[in-house]
Amino acid sequence: MNTPLWEVFVRTRNGLAHKHAGSVHAADATMALQAARDVYTRRGEGLSLWVVPSNAIVASDPADRDMLFEPTGSKIYRHPTFYEVPDEVGHM
């Protein structure tokens, strides 16, 4: 049997969310965390690690990109610059 594949996410010290770093092979979650520590955080890059079985991730299909993301293109009223505020009012 092949050793399962895990995706690794690292939360760095700058306060941002966990970010995908790569993957590791490991028999179980404990070993996956240890491998992720050794492979992706050798220089204090992270303050927290997530490992997720790769086959548990559901990804959107690039072929659906337009259907999924195109509709927001016309919704410019979702951005602050759509609205007019007189200069006299100052920064808002």
Partner 1 sequence: MYSQALNTRDTSTDSSPEAIRFQARIDDEQRIEPNDWMPEAYRRTLIRQISQHAHSEIVGMLPEGNWITRAPSLRRKAALLAKVQDEGGHGLYLYSAAETLGVAREDLEDQLLSGRAKYSSIFNYPTLSWADIGTIGWLVDGAAIMNQIPLCRCSYGPYARAMIRVCREESFHQRQGYEIVLTLCRGTTEQKAMAQDALDRWWWPCLMMFGPPDTDSLHSDTSMRWKIKRFSNDGLRQKFVDATVPQGHFLGLTFPDPELRFDETEGHWQFGAIDWDEFRAVLSGNGPCNRERLEARRKAHDDGAWVREAALAHAAKQRKTA
* The one-letter amino acid at 17: A
* The one-letter amino acid at 42: R
> Given candidates 54, 66, 68, 85, which one binds partner 1 under the rule CB under 8 A?
54
Contact 6, 36 (CB under 8 A): yes
Place of tokens 């079985």: 53
Asked if residue 67 binds partner 1 (CB under 8 A), the reply is no
Shortest Cβ 49–partner 1 spacing (Å) = 15
Which residues of this protein are in contact with partner 1, per CB under 8 A? 1-3, 5, 7, 22-28, 31, 38-39, 42-43, 54-55, 57, 59, 61-62
